[in-house]
Amino acid sequence: MVPVLDLEIGGGEFVTMAGPCSVETEFQLMATANHVRRAGARILRGGAFKPRSSPYSFQGHGLEGLKMLAHARQETGLAIVTEVMSEEDVPLVAEYADILQIGSRNMENYALLEAAARSGRPILLKRGMVATIADMLCSAQVVLDNGNPNIILCERGIRTFETALRNTFDVAAIALIKQVSHLPIIADPSHAAGASDLVPALARIAVAAGADGMIVEVHPNPENAWSDGEQSLDFAEFDELMESIEPLLALRGPAQCERKLARRGVAVGSRQAAGFRALEAVG
Ligand code: PEP
Ligand code: MN
């Protein structure tokens, strides 16, 4: 279980991280943070340092972006996850973020992993786009070896011969990790799909596979997003997604149900009783 502020990732509650690909403006970030919080997200995502495939693309606001994220946490209470791209930036990003994201392109950057691990912040380790499951676990081991047990793995799709989607969502990796590792694993249906209309289906598949949470890109106006607009959900689409995973979450068992009922103000007795009640509620 990875503690983050008042949350535990891998502790039974399915944790949703949501927010824009990149932090763009104060308005964009605050509107998104307020919306995703109301819809049930517990953690706000947003890139301040962006690893872009093209050097001509927006590279992120850096420190200004981190400050906007910290402001959003102050206003909403949401924890913050944001990417750190270089060893030198670790102290700065760790000052502002609750979780340090290691991006797909950096999964095997061991110097970065070591520095990030030593910051003491929980690490969201995204699977490299050409990394095997064993490669990902080796990278996690580097973080562990540097004194940091708080690692959240993330399946975000891999490159295969298939080109119809941005990446191939390796959902079996989620099921396998649940068997072979004690670490929590979340899904990133946004980067796996690359297209917003496929994100909800991939999210539901991830829930069914046993993911401990998900990280989803949401934007007030995806058409005008500065990065990854084609895969970002607008607010209504995010609401629909959150609703559509509920019955699947209820099927997963008591712990999830208990928390959900507690949030709705329903008094709960034993975990099991709560689970059964939630199952009854969804028929
Ligand atoms: C992101 O989360 O915006 C991102 C760049 O992800 P990845 O490293 O998985 O491509
Ligand atoms: Mn993105």
Tell me what pLDDT residue 151 has. 98
What count of Cα atoms within 13 Å lies in the side-chain half-sphere of residue 272? Answer: 0
**For a pocket test of ligand 1, which of 43, 49, 69, 83 has the largest count of ligand atoms closer than 8 A to its C-beta?**
83
Say yes or no to pLDDT of 257 above 80.
no
Rounded to the nearest angstrom, the distance between the alpha carbon of 122 and the centre of ligand 1 is 17
- Average the pLDDT over 240-260 and give the result: 83
Backbone angles phi, psi at 161, to 5 degrees: -70, -15
d(CA 100, CA 200): 25
Determine the Cα angle at 247 with ends 169 and 11, to 5°.
70
Residue 39 CA to ligand 1 center (angstroms) comes to 23
pLDDT at 271: 39
Across residues 65-79, what is the average pLDDT? Answer: 98
What mean pLDDT value characterizes the chain?
A: 92
Q: What percent of the chain has pLDDT over 90?
A: 87
pLDDT > 50? residue 210: yes
Does residue 120 surpass a pLDDT of 60? yes
Question: Residues 113-122: what's their mean pLDDT?
Answer: 98
pLDDT at 53: 82
Cβ density class 142-167: b for 16+ within 10 Å, e for less: bbbebebebbbbbbbbbeeeeeeebb
- CA separation for the pair 173, 193 (Å, rounded): 16
* pLDDT at residue 177, rounded to an integer: 97
Section 169-191 average pLDDT: 98
* Ligand 1 pocket, residue 156 CB under 6 Å: yes
Q: What pLDDT, on a 0 to 100 scale, did the predictor assign at position 255?
A: 62
Query: Which protein residue has the closest C-alpha to ligand 1 atom 3?
Result: 21
SS3 sequence of the chain: CEEECCEEECCCCCEEEEECCECCCHHHHHHHHHHHHHCCCCEEECECCCCCCCCCCCCCCCHHHHHHHHHHHHHHCCEEEEECCCHHHHHHHHHHCCEEEECHHHCCCHHHHHHHHHCCCCEEEECCCCCCHHHHHHHHHHHHHCCCCCEEEEECCECCCCCCCCCECCHHHHHHHHHHCCCCEEECHHHHHCCHHHHHHHHHHHHHHCCCEEEEEECCCHHHCCCCHHHCECHHHHHHHHHHHHHHHHHCCHHHHHHHHHHCCCCCCCHHHHHHHHHHHCC
pLDDT tens digit sequence for 21-51? 999 999 999 999 999 999 999 999 999 999 8
Amino acid 104: pLDDT: 98
What is the average per-residue pLDDT within 157-183?
97
Say if ligand 1 is within 6 A of residue 103 CB: yes
Residue appearing with tokens 């050097």 = 55
pLDDT band at 281 (very low <50, low <70, confident <90, very high): low
Least confident of 6-20, 25-39, 86-100, 248-262: 248-262
pLDDT for residue 217 is more than 90: yes
Helix axes 271-281, 235-251, angle to 10 degrees: 120
Closest CA to 273 of 246, 251, 253: 253
Here the tokens at position 247 are 């019955």
Measured in Å, residue 19 CA sits from the centre of ligand 2 at 10
Q: How far apart are the first and last CA of the chain?
A: 30
Give the ligand with the smallest distance to the CA of 187: 1
Lookup: tokens for 7 = 């949350």
| pLDDT > 70: percent of the chain | 89
CA of 193 to the centre of ligand 2 (A): 11
Closest C-alpha to 172, from 190, 191, 185, 162: 185
Kindly report the protein residue whose alpha carbon is nearest to atom 1 of ligand 1: 21
Q: pLDDT band for 196, please (50, 70, 90 cuts).
A: very high
What pLDDT, on a 0 to 100 scale, did the predictor assign at position 52?
A: 85
Give the pLDDT confidence score for residue 261 in this predicted structure. 58
> In the predicted model, is pLDDT for residue 283 greater than 70?
no
Average pLDDT for 184-205: 98
Q: Is the CB of 21 under 6 A from ligand 1?
A: yes
d(CA 199, CA 193): 6
Instruction: Supply the pLDDT for residue 68.
Output: 98
Q: Categorize the per-residue pLDDT at 274 as very low, low, confident or very high, splitting at 50, 70 and 90.
A: very low
